[in-house]
């Protein structure tokens, strides 16, 4: 510092450290006080934090700074936006710089120095210290310790500090804004990542919409959040989070009102109250409406409304909502395609089964019953619904390889000779080869290939034993055996239940997995109902 009249200043002395605050009722983290300390540190001048309206002194940076604020000075503190110097005729020079407001009250950083030289005793100071009961010696001592500074040098110093502080604050605000943006972007990416990771086909559109609503509510904080979604079963659902001042019919009314809007962009209305729109939708302050569409078909809408306080919907909010709507639309489309694919697959499987049934009418319905009995066994074993569907479909397909067996063997009345039996034993592998190129039914293939394996390892085609045999095939083996024994054949009648169950008991652990035979005995009444449907058997 080059101020030549600082001979008597108290720069950063041990007793009065710079940057400290005295008599402050405010929090140390109050922005006004942080700025006050910065002014004091940068200028080495004393400062008081003053309420610009009442003139109250809220804090000061030096303990021994006399709390002096003449009315002439106080009256000029309103609206201080830059450095202001107020010279008093007594030789005191007051300076004021703007500070951030405290709880909405404008505050100003104020200080004073002596303009004259050592020995000068401004009348305002003398009056104040006399009222405090100071002696002449104490006044002399205090005056001797004060800073002296010419106003033009003081002004140059304060302007430099103020401008650099303003510039620095601008940079800090920009950094803070960028940091907030990065934080928000990070949170958005987190949400989008979580949602895309949740896009399994097993997740219903409603589950996904619920998840979207929860996340968008956490991140954007709008008071009303809604998703209207049409599921592939053509049912409309309204999901809500928070408080929405309009209902489903209101949302439809809003959509119709803006039917000419270009829906490739979100509809954003930030100023509604006091307008015709506001009159028609009371309680609505602002809103964003985004269609859930994959660009081909629209399956619903997302609506957010009423941001708290003075906030408005901007690019950040609308782009996040649009991204979520696109994710929901894509998921919806994928589910529809998957469902169509599943329907086609079922049609294909049915036509294959019809072909087999047409070839061997005597066993018509066998595959359907094996599928249903297998399903019942799977349910008894506590398997999930998705697995039960697989068991059923594998049951439908298990003998599809018989399509490739010569009719003279397949339809032969009576016992097969060794060669014929070898030929018919080819059907699991033929079925496997027919189906293995079809991507979506790979998981059914073990049931087709291995349903004639024996638990003891003596079956075909792979000679697998025990738990080497896929569970699907072990279940189908029991279902297949039950229906084969129970059904009539050209050369024999179907067996009574008691006989079948004796065979099952003997064969548990030999031909069949004992845990599946156990499951059979727990569910035998229900299996008998399934097995006897459409099967011609003698009364037991």
Which residues of this chain interact with Fe ion, rule CB under 5 A?
399
Tokens standing for 460? 């075909």
Do residues 120 and 143 lie in contact, with contact meaning Cβ atoms separated by under 8 Å? Answer: yes
**Angstrom distance (rounded) from CA 222 to CA 96:** 42
* CB-nearer residue toward Fe ion: 387 or 399: 399
CB of 424 to Fe ion, least distance (A): 9
CB of 366 to Fe ion, least distance (A): 9
CB of 400 to Fe ion, least distance (A): 9
* CB-nearer residue toward Fe ion: 390 or 399: 399
Residues in the chain: 540
**Angstrom distance (rounded) from CA 420 to CA 390:** 31
* CB-nearer residue toward Fe ion: 399 or 453: 399
Do residues 473 and 462 lie in contact, with contact meaning Cβ atoms separated by under 8 Å? Answer: no
* CB-nearer residue toward Fe ion: 71 or 491: 491
**Angstrom distance (rounded) from CA 166 to CA 171:** 9
CB of 431 to Fe ion, least distance (A): 8
CB of 363 to Fe ion, least distance (A): 10
**Angstrom distance (rounded) from CA 258 to CA 108:** 51
CB of 370 to Fe ion, least distance (A): 9
* CB-nearer residue toward Fe ion: 60 or 452: 452
CB of 443 to Fe ion, least distance (A): 19
Helix, strand or coil for residue 94?
A: strand
**Where does residue 96 rank: exposed (0-12), middle (13-18), buried (19+ CB within 10 A)?**
buried
User: Residue 268 is inside which H or E element, if any?
Assistant: strand 267-269
Tokens standing for 336? 């529809």
Do residues 509 and 515 lie in contact, with contact meaning Cβ atoms separated by under 8 Å? Answer: no
Q: Which residue is nearest to Fe ion (CB)?
A: 399
Helix, strand or coil for residue 59?
A: strand
* CB-nearer residue toward Fe ion: 60 or 451: 451
* CB-nearer residue toward Fe ion: 32 or 448: 448
Tokens standing for 170? 């601008």
CB of 360 to Fe ion, least distance (A): 12
* CB-nearer residue toward Fe ion: 84 or 451: 451
CB of 398 to Fe ion, least distance (A): 6
User: Residue 419 is inside which H or E element, if any?
Assistant: helix 418-424
**Angstrom distance (rounded) from CA 28 to CA 414:** 101
* CB-nearer residue toward Fe ion: 98 or 470: 470
Closest alpha carbon to 15 in 158, 148, 145, 157: 145
| C-alpha gyration radius of the chain | 44
CB of 477 to Fe ion, least distance (A): 9
Closest alpha carbon to 67 in 46, 95, 53: 46
User: How many Cα atoms occupy the beta-carbon half-sphere of 195 within 13 Å?
Assistant: 29
Handedness of CA 388, 393, 394, 396 (dihedral sign): positive
**Angstrom distance (rounded) from CA 60 to CA 15:** 15
CB of 349 to Fe ion, least distance (A): 16
**Angstrom distance (rounded) from CA 442 to CA 436:** 6
**Angstrom distance (rounded) from CA 208 to CA 132:** 73
**Angstrom distance (rounded) from CA 387 to CA 399:** 19
* CB-nearer residue toward Fe ion: 265 or 489: 489
CB of 200 to Fe ion, least distance (A): 34
* CB-nearer residue toward Fe ion: 399 or 513: 399
Do residues 470 and 446 lie in contact, with contact meaning Cβ atoms separated by under 8 Å? Answer: yes
* CB-nearer residue toward Fe ion: 66 or 485: 485
């Amino acid at each position: 510092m080059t101020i030549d009249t600082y001979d008597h200043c108290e720069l950063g002395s041990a007793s009065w450290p710079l940057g400290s605050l005295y008599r402050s009722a405010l929090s140390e983290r109050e922005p006004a006080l942080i700025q006050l300390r910065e002014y004091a540190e940068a200028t080495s001048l004393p400062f008081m934090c003053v309420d610009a309206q009442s003139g109250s002194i809220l804090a000061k940076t030096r303990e021994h700074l006399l709390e002096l604020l003449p009315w002439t000075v106080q009256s000029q503190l309103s609206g201080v936006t830059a450095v202001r110097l107020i010279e008093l005729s007594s030789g005191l020079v007051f300076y004021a710089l703007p500070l951030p407001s405290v709880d909405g009250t404008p505050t100003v950083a104020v200080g004073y120095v002596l303009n004259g030289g050592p020995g000068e005793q401004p009348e305002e100071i003398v009056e104040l210290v006399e009222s405090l009961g100071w002696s002449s010696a104490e006044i002399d001592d205090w005056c001797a310790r004060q800073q002296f500074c010419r106003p033009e040098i003081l002004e140059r110093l304060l302007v430099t500090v103020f401008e650099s502080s303003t510039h620095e604050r601008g940079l800090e605000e920009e950094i803070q804004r960028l940091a907030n943006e990065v934080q928000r972007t990070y949170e958005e990416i987190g949400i989008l990542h979580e949602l895309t990771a949740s896009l399994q086909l097993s997740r219903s559109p409603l589950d996904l919409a619920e998840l979207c609503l929860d996340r968008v509510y956490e991140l954007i904080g709008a008071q009303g959040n809604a998703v209207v979604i049409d599921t592939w079963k053509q049912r409309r659902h309204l999901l809500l989070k928070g408080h929405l001042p309009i209902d489903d019919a209101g949302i439809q009314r809003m959509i119709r009102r803006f039917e000419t809007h270009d829906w490739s962009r979100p509809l954003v209305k930030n100023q509604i109250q006091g307008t015709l729109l506001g009159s028609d939708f009371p309680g609505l302050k602002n809103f964003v409406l985004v269609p859930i569409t994959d660009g081909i078909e629209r399956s619903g809408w997302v609506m957010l409304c009423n941001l708290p306080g003075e906030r408005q919907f901007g690019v950040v909010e609308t782009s996040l909502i649009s991204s979520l709507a696109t994710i929901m639309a894509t998921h919806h489309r994928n589910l529809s395609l998957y469902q169509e694919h599943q329907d086609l697959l079922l049609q294909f499987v049915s036509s294959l089964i019809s072909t087999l049934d047409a070839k061997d009418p005597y066993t018509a319905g066998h595959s359907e019953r094996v599928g249903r009995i297998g399903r019942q066994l799977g349910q008894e074993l506590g398997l999930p619904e998705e697995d039960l569907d697989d068991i059923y479909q594998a049951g439908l397909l298990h003998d599809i390889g018989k399509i490739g067996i010569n009719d003279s063997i397949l339809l032969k009345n009576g016992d097969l000779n060794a060669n014929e039996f070898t030929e018919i034993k080819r059907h699991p592998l033929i079925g496997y080869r027919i189906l293995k190129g079809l991507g979506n039914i790979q998981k059914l293939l073990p049931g087709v290939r291995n349903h004639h394996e024996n638990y003891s390892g003596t079956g075909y085609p792979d000679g697998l034993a025990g738990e080497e045999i896929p569970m699907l095939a072990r279940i189908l083996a029991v279902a297949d055996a039950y229906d084969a024994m129970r059904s009539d054949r050209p050369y024999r009648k179907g067996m009574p239940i008691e006989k079948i169950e004796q065979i099952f008991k003997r064969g548990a652990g030999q031909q069949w997995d004992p845990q599946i035979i156990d499951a059979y005995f727990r569910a035998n009444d229900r299996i008998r109902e399934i097995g006897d449907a459409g099967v011609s058997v003698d009364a037991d």
